[in-house]
A = this chain, B = another copy of it.
Amino acid sequence: MGERISKRIGKQTVRIERPISILSCGSVAGSKEGQGPLGGRFDIVLEDDKNNEKSWEKAESSMVENAIKTAINKAGMTADDMDYILAGDLLDQSIGSTFGIRAIDRPFIGLFGACSTFGESVAVGAMLIDGGFAKRVVAAASSHFCAAERQFRFPLELGTQRPPTSTWTVTGCGAAVLGNADNAPFIREITMGKIVDMGIKDANNMGAAMVPAAADTLLAHFRDTGRNPRDYDLIVTGDLGYVGKELLIEIVGNEGFDISKNYTDCGIEIFDRDTQGTDSGGSGCGCSAVTFAARFYDDLKSGRLKRILFMPTGALMSKTSAQQGESIPGIAHCMAISHE
């Protein structure tokens, strides 16, 4: 029968065998993100978050198109060089992605993992290349504060108060071109996550809702690979924020893994909490995507970081599920990305 599952390590992890490189990244960020700590590192910062479009949703699509085109340009390629576009976002029926990608004439694989979508698209893209189905792909994810707030919570015009556990949806799109090449950084091991639901129902405390899934994937990764936190220069989650970060350190600490020394979260990196009023930190599909594209990618490429474990996190809820009294299931996908 020729069964071959040699790329699997343990129960939940796979190893990318060939050198699958992140050839380039592109990032488009909103004006608030541009005023934050990473402001100087984004490829494009919007002057106005409507980006000359008629709606926030259309503005999100324009960011998707521009981030993907920027990433492809920076790789010295054209859209024709991409075998697949893999992307997704938070908007109903993923219109942020689909209407942005409509103008790019390439096969499209739409993904949904809520705010973990960037991890999902990079991971699936790397597997498709390593499997021999693509030479190059572009993977992307986006979110828009204004579009997300009115869809998931309340229209901004209401001026609803935000509790301190709440996170701030990032306006931005990050895109990465992946290909089989010898240029750092490389995608090595991938641990796709399970849906984990511990019954949390507070849509203003997404960090806490996602932590059980993040812990589940992280522990699976350590178990499958035999590694521990010290094997990574940095462990980077997607959008757990300050509240979620402390919880994750505690939960995996209780299982014997100390991540307190070398762990951060994209939602913490992207905003300055003290001056930007972003409470527990950034969130949304765009959070891990633009923070990776603008910061961690460069550090891995230059060798300032040798090896990171990158884990975008997602909360799998909708306004309908919340209105029907459902809890918020979480998911997280992680991957080892190395300079060597």
Contacts and interface: CB of A to CB of B under 8 A. Distances in A.
Contact of A324 (B6, B19, B58, B130): B58
18 contacts: A1-B182, A2-B19, A3-B135, A3-B180, A6-B132, A8-B135, A12-B107, A54-B324, A91-B320, A92-B93, A94-B112, A94-B316, A95-B320, A98-B316, A99-B316, A99-B326, A102-B329, A106-B194
Contact of A84 (B95, B98, B192): B192
A181 B2 CA distance: 9
B108 A195 contact: yes
Interface string A67-91: 0000000000000000110001011
Interface stretch (A26-34, A40-48, A120-128, A265-273): A120-128
Interface string A31-63: 000000000000000000000001101100000
Nearest to A197: B102
B193 A107 contact: yes
A317 B93 contact: yes
A206 interface: no
Contacts of A130: 131, 133
B95 A316 contact: yes
Contact of A131 (B83, B128, B193): B128
